[in-house]
Amino acid sequence: MTPRDVLVLCRERDVRAVDLRFTDLFGHWQHSTIPASRLTAESFEEGFGFDGSSIRGWQSIHESDLLMVPKADTAFVDPFAQLPTMNLICEIQDPVTRTDYPFDPRHLAKRAQDYIAGTGLADAVYIGAECEFFVFDSARFDQSSSHGFYYLEGGEAAWQQHRTDKPNLAYQMRRKEGYFPCPPHDQGMDLRNDIMMALIEAGLDVECHHHEVAVPGQGEIDFRYDTLIRTADHVMLYKYVVRNLARRHGKVATFMPKPVLGDNGSGMHTHLSFWKNGKSLMSGRNYAGLSELGMFAIGGILKHSAALMALTNPSTNSYKRMVPGYEAPVHLAYSQRNRSAAIRIPMYSHQPESKRIEFRCPDGTCNPYLAFAAIAMAAIDGIQNRIPPGDPLDKDIYDLPPEQLKATPRVPRSLEASLEALASDHDFLLRGDVFSEEILRKWIDSKMADEVDAHRMVPDPFEFARYFDA
């Protein structure tokens, strides 16, 4: 879609407002709205000014001016605004030099794509993202000096069977029995249908949706893979649609990885493939039908996984998902079909163009632009340096004997451990100026201070239950 196409669409849809959006360093959409009459063909070159010092982790107050430059090919009509509104994803520029703003995650993802093409190894990297979420009827939580609690309500969950404050229509699901049930057990089908149709209307190629393993209300809606940047755009749009349609249904959605004790968490399984001249480079005669390039890509991701997870699993809660027995990877191994491995080679199809690798660690709290760029850079490092992935592990890793597990590296057990790994292993991210020391230092310092250290000081309900009578 060109700028002219966007302006024509605005007239055809009687658009009255234009919402300008960008992603901050930590993965949150920010926005500013203008009257539709202010959007002209020149706007796509000139951009719109805003205060960059008010965005966390960005400009100092003495150099706060920045520009939002809308990208025409990201346009979609907002499905939630009462006033007809066109949404445009923007990239950020310095208004004085007109150079790309280095802390703009979308620019960083572009640099990753350009670097990969510049290596000559591949001219395109495609990403597919399976982003899971929970939907609750209600979520209450608070933390203060004198109390801390959370309370979740979900009509599908077995813990709701005792409720008498309203009619209880039964058909609640038992723990870990949420995968693929039909209504009335699956109470979220209508909501997911609405999300699916809103995503299609916004331009995504939706493949399917279903209830996930956990109860209550865990779901997944899969959309077709695309380039690294476009899939990151789509993840941001996906999260926006899921949250707002849940709210419209009188419910609340969350991408928090592990909100429910004793049940599966939510991940964002990330599929990766490299292409050149319109053909996939992943298919070959090695293990699970992979090419040598595909095997080395696995080697690179496994080598750098601990550092990657500081970007792909960037919350303290992320690591409460990474425990045995809940379909989340705990050990850094690869396998065909095996969902207990950190990297899986899907075997649904033998078509060469469908061959890919799936990194199962990431979750929905990440900034998708940074996460996808980092995964691709780790894979390229493996290809460039011909890093062998070792032997596959085609067994249920959760049931391996202790002596065999000792030889299999484990994922980091905490955000702090991942951040420490990133601090010591990030040269592969600096190539081609994709990431910078400044960006990584800002990321590590902010996460350590605002999340790791802050969380360390907070007493929680488990500690009261365990230690109050000590």
Q: Which residues are catalytic?
A: 51, 130, 132, 212, 220, 269, 339, 358, 360
Q: Choose among 372, 366, 359, 270: nearest CA to 318.
A: 366
Angstrom distances, CA of residue 325 to CA of 95, 133, 181, 199, 412: 52, 19, 21, 33, 17
Closest C-alpha to 90, from 38, 37, 43: 43
Q: Token digits for 31?
A: 């926005």
For every residue of the chain, which 3-state class applies, written as one string? CCHHHHHHHHHHCCCCEEEEEEECCCCCEEEEEEEHHHCCCCHHHHCEEEEHHHCCCCCCHHHCEEEEEECHHHCEECCCCCCCEEEEEEEEECCCCCCECCCCHHHHHHHHHHHHHHHCCCCEEEEEEEEEEEEECEEEEEECCCCEEEEEECCCEHHHCCCCCCCCCCCCECCCCCCCCCCCCCCCHHHHHHHHHHHHHCCCCEEEEEECCCCCCEEEEEECCEEHHHHHHHHHHHHHHHHHHHHHCCCEEECCCCCCCCCCCCCEEEEEEEEECCEECCECCCHHHECHHHHHHHHHHHHHHHHHHHHHCCCCCHHHHCCCCCCCCCEEEEEECCCCEEEEECCCCCCHHHCCEEECCCCCCCCHHHHHHHHHHHHHHHHHCCCCCCCCCCCCHHHCCHHHHCCCCECCCCHHHHHHHHHHCCHHHHHHHCCCHHHHHHHHHHHHHHHHHHHHCCCCHHHHHHHCCC
Estimate the crossing angle of helix 368-384 against helix 105-119, to 10 degrees.
20
Q: List the Cα angle 321/265/246 in 5-degree steps.
A: 140
Strand partners, 23: 29
- CA dist 323 and 340 (Å) reads 10
Residues 26 and 367: beta-carbon distance below 8 Å: yes
